[in-house]
Amino acid sequence: MVITRLVILLVFLHSLFSPFSFLNLTLRKHPLPPSLPPFIQAIALAPFFLFLVVQIFCLQMLLCGTAAPPPPAAPSRINNTIELESPKVATMKDHTKEKKVYCRCWKSKTFPYCDGSHAKHNKETGDNVGPLIVKGAE
């Protein structure tokens, strides 16, 4: 890989500074008269500078490559405020005739009911989120 990039660099430098390079041959065929104002001379040379910029860009891409993609983001905590010292936060309330278990991690495939997905999430992130358990009246 390094040798390939060095060869490309040598070919690039040769193409720029060789007496037979595109840039040298074109400038020799179309010399600019010194009587032209500097602004007009700059406009006349713009295509040649564009050619040079494109060659330098291609060389940079070949020698340096493209940037590596960013690593995937790690899963983050959901619970940042409630009972952080507890290994799992599960709240119980008495309001219904039968027991209901509601999801609070937003990972459940049976949302709004809990399917236990918080256990995997807690293991991956160190979080302590758990379900809301509503007990039935006895």
Q: Which residues does the annotation mark as catalytic?
A: 88
Surface-to-core class of residue 127, CB atoms within 10 Å of its CB (0-12 exposed, 13-18 middle, 19+ buried):
buried
Nearest CA to 127 out of 94, 85, 64 is that of 85
DSSP symbol at 81 = S
* 84 backbone φψ class: left, alpha, beta (φ>0; ψ -120 to 50): alpha
DSSP three-state, residue 91: strand
Q: Are strands 129-136 and 89-96 parallel, antiparallel or unpaired?
A: parallel
Instruction: State both tokens at 42.
Output: 């700059």
